[in-house]
Amino acid sequence: MPDSSHTPQPPFDNADAWRNAAMQRTSLCDAAESDQRKILADVHNQKEGICDPDVLADQMLYILGKMDVDEYQNYLLFKHTPAS
């Protein structure tokens, strides 16, 4: 089991601020990789019936390379974990 004491704290007070800041960053991947990610996401979304605008906006963080997979997972955990 991972040691949660080494998990970095979210850099923002809320998920919207984190997402908005990330979307201002330079992409971590080139256009070809981003296009491939978009194709895969579109197929997945169609198969699973995913059409929620908020979910689709979150997906763009990874598709466009604004977050690497680790940060993206941390962002989603932060966003969807109830505050204590």
Q: What does the pLDDT read at residue 83?
A: 76
Q: What does the pLDDT read at residue 4?
A: 42
Over the chain (84 residues), the average pLDDT of each successive run of 10 is 48 92 96 98 98 98 96 95 79
Question: What is the number of other CB atoms lying within 10 angstroms of the CB of residue 43?
Answer: 10
Segments making up each domain of the chain, as ranges: 12-80
Six token digits for residue 48: 């699973």
